[in-house]
Structure 1
Amino acid sequence: MKELVKSIAKRTLPTPIISKLAQWRGVEYSLPVGKVEFGNLRRLKPISEAWGFDRGLPIDRYYIENFLANHCDDINGRVLEIGDSFYTNKFGGDRVTKKDVFHAVEGNPDATFVGDLTSADHIPSDAFDCLILTETLQLIYEVRLALKTIYRILKPGGVVLVTVPGITQLSDIEWKNTWYWNYTTLSAQRLFEEVFPPANIQLKTYGNVLTATSFLQGLATQELRKEELDYCDSNYEVTITVRAVKPQVTL
């Protein structure tokens, strides 16, 4: 195997033979050095610096909405969402009996709670059937304190639906000064296990090398095929999702 790799690296064999040998030995053949065509990607600035919002639906939003659609039955009863109630309305429908919005600063007319998730004593305990936290935890430095608040304010049996960024650009003018963390499956798992029972946590990642590259360039969902978007490769975590349930009997 080592000799085959060396031969491929040195290109001492004709390309068709290298390709056949690589397939036979279970090695995925890649283009020789100098043969990659960069096209529109040979650039030092991304195609879009706004995650693709200016071109269509950003790739991470495709993953976020797939995750929420897959767990739409959890969005019921009294629901708290961060920033606005867009996803509560889109995926909760008439299953939702009361909508609440949490916002970090004053001035949001839709907000029913304002403050800091790390010290939110004004939010009642055991109050919510569902919390929707999309792309929020990376903006909170004391994330462990925020998770303790989330656990406290969920009803027993309540569900929190969370998305956090993995591979992403950091181009948002509004949030770049408070963007503290990017996550991996392992870091998200460890953090949630500090608060929720491990058996009550489900994690799923979305992304592959093509969607990661496209997302970094700011391409939109509409510029890729569905089978390209839906292929998941755990080596390229664009979006990490967590579904965590508070036990019926609180710990």
Structure 2
Amino acid sequence: MNKEQLKLIVKRTLPIPVRNYLKSQWQRDKLYPPFGKVGFGNLRSLKPISDCWGIDRGQPVDRYYIENFLADHSSDIQGRVLEIGDNSYTLRFGGDNIKKSDVLHAIEGNPEATIVGDLSNANHIPSDTFDCFILTQTLQYVYDLQSGLKTIYRILKPGGIVLATLPSITPLSDAQWNKCWYWGFTTVSTQRLFEEVFTPANIQVKTYGNVLTASAFLQGLASQELRKEELDYRDSNYEVTITVRAVKPQVMS
């Protein structure tokens, strides 16, 4: 009796729960590491290695992806640039191409802010103002996403560019900000959200991450604890960071 004949007899004679159990037992023999032999080491804990995204150990894994994305699009960071919270990325990646730097913060009290307001309710920000908007890890805090994206589109100049990053696989490590962390994202949801406002042809959505970097990020390991080839490998099944480059169309003459 060959293997195929045995499978046929099993399929015809055994109930489904028994067949599924036998299948799982047979598959264990093919697993590597074998079932029950995985070495968890330092990961066998109900607490992460770092509970602040790995900032205490070095550069957080998601920041590796965010900063590589901005570096790849540094030529877009020019003219009048708006950034959330502070202008560190504006100065770092825009350099001498910056004519004016603005900082948007949602609430009063940030000494670096030149504009105070919520993206979903920001009629006081003039339309057609900014050449570039650096929007890193912010949209998860905007409950009314559609209104927020409409504001982003409105305040960009024709031809202006938003460089946005969004979290997908991530720990929620900051108790203060967790209270207003509303959303997680996927490539599909991100694409659809931006297509509701921007022209689809003017949107580029990319993802970064893999099972190793996702696990490392959840544990709070720093990017320096991984190899470059490990960080740069992309597996769309494990989206750590989603990036968007969206352009507001030029005015048609």
Normalization by structure 1: what TM-score? 0.90
Post-superposition offset of 1:32: 2.1
Post-superposition offset of 1:8: 7.8
Q: Which amino acid aligns with 2:34?
A: P
| Equivalences for residues 45-194 of structure 1 within 5 A | 45-194=47-196
The aligned counterpart of 1:218 is 220
1:89-109 alpha-carbon deviations (Å, 9 max, x no partner)? 110000110000000111111
Please tell me whether residue 234 in structure 1 is matched to residue 236 in structure 2: yes
1:199 is matched with which residue: 198, 201, 221?
A: 201
Q: Distance in 2 between matches of 1:32 and 1:8?
A: 15
CA shift in 2, pair 1:63/1:12, >3 Å: closer
Q: Distance in 2 between matches of 1:44 and 1:66?
A: 32
Q: Which amino acid aligns with 2:39?
A: E
Structure 2 counterpart SS, 1:119: coil
Structure 2 counterpart SS, 1:164: strand
Structure 1 counterpart SS, 2:69: helix
Post-superposition offset of 1:171: 1.4
CA shift in 2, pair 1:133/1:37, >3 Å: same
Q: Distance in 1 between matches of 2:56 and 2:99?
A: 34
1:49-86 alpha-carbon deviations (Å, 9 max, x no partner)? 00000110000000000000000000000000000001
Count of aligned pairs between the two proteins: 236
1:18-77 alpha-carbon deviations (Å, 9 max, x no partner)? 4xxxxxxxxxx6422111110110100100000000110000000000000000000000
Post-superposition offset of 1:160: 0.1
Q: Distance in 1 between matches of 2:102 and 2:115?
A: 8
Q: Distance in 2 between matches of 1:8 and 1:85?
A: 57
Q: Which amino acid aligns with 1:205?
A: T
Q: Distance in 1 between matches of 2:222 and 2:87?
A: 23
Structure 1 range deviating more: 144-153 or 241-250: 241-250
Q: Which amino acid aligns with 1:249?
A: V
1:2-23 alpha-carbon deviations (Å, 9 max, x no partner)? 97x998842489x6xx4xxxxx
Report the RMSD for the aligned CA atoms in angstroms. 2.0
Normalization by structure 2: what TM-score? 0.89
The aligned counterpart of 2:41 is 39
The aligned counterpart of 2:12 is none
The answer for unaligned runs of 5 or more in structure 2 is 8-19
Q: Distance in 1 between matches of 2:103 and 2:130?
A: 12
Please tell me whether residue 10 in structure 1 is matched to residue 46 in structure 2: no
CA shift in 2, pair 1:9/1:118, >3 Å: same
- Aligned sequence identity (%): 68
Q: Distance in 2 between matches of 1:202 and 1:187?
A: 13
1:118-156 alpha-carbon deviations (Å, 9 max, x no partner)? 111111100000000000000010011000000000000
Q: Which amino acid aligns with 1:238?
A: V
Q: Distance in 1 between matches of 2:213 and 2:32?
A: 19
Find the structure with the greater CA-based Rg. Answer: 2
